[in-house]
Amino acid sequence: MSAFRLIASMFAFLLMPFAAHAQETRPSTCLAMAKALPNVTFVSLQPAAGEEVSITYAGHSTYVIETPAGVTIATDFSGAYGTRPTPRVVTMNKAHSTHFTSTPDPAIEHVLTGWNPDGGPIEHSLLVDDVYIRNVTTDINRFGVMEEDGNSIFIFEVAGLCIGHLGHLHHRLEDSHYAAIGRLDVVMVPVDGGLTMSLDGMSEIARRLSSSVILPMHRHATPLDSFTRRMGEGFDLDFRDSRSLTVSLTTLPRRPTIIVLEGV
């Protein structure tokens, strides 16, 4: 068990009472730990109960995350994927109509846009039952013009895990972005190599995030090995014959692993 995961379980345990109060905000455990290192004192602590999070590839850039409390989240939601059952939370980005919808189902409780319709950055900090959701804004290329803060990387903190979705990322990240993101145990990465950003740039970001699990998405016709080769020998490759996986703090792979779900 790595020191990161031990301290993650400690924070998860300490913050468990917050989960009873939906819609409240709380400090980010993933961000707090990232900022604290290396000036933390590691303790010997058993991980929290090993609650599992389910992650299902629905299509394009949409993954459906289901938390131990049954909260369902659909990422980069356009209404084409991840609609059944109706998710409680959806996140969107506006690069293309395949990443958002202007007419979401009214039954969806929380519709989180990655951009501010009124201009400027948008900030999400939301607790829904057992999952804390926040975002880090990035710029977006709209018709050849870079729009500041027009895209968001969404981060989902649940069951001691830090899960990130890079959205429709158009540029390399700066140190300030990495600091704001914090630790990611699982990261969803667009690997089209063109509409978002180059495979060299995307693999550089994925390597620096040092996540235990990397989930490709937004692939189009790009050969998967064009991405995986760039990641290098430090990453294992795991092809699955299912669209879903379950993960917990205690079952993260020992070596960083690119997991390719069915349909990707």
Lowest model confidence (mean pLDDT) among 39-43, 49-53, 173-177, 213-217: 39-43
CB atoms within 10 A of CB 1: 14
Query: Average per-residue pLDDT in the chain?
Result: 81
Q: Flag whether the pTM goes above 0.85.
A: no
| Per-residue model confidence (pLDDT) at position 102 | 86
Residues 30-39: what's their mean pLDDT?
Answer: 58
The answer to whether the CB of 168 falls within 8 A of the CB of 140 is: yes
118 vs 147: which has the higher pLDDT: 118
27 compared with 1, residue with greater pLDDT: 27
Which of 14-18, 63-67, 210-214, 247-251 shows the lowest per-residue confidence on average (mean pLDDT)? 14-18
Instruction: Tell me which of 26 and 122 has the higher pLDDT.
Output: 122
Average pLDDT score over residue span 33-49:
44
**What's the rounded mean pLDDT across residues 9-20?**
37
Q: Bridge partners of 111?
A: 90
Q: Are 258 and 239 in contact (CB under 8 A)?
A: no
Give the pLDDT confidence score for residue 1 in this predicted structure: 43
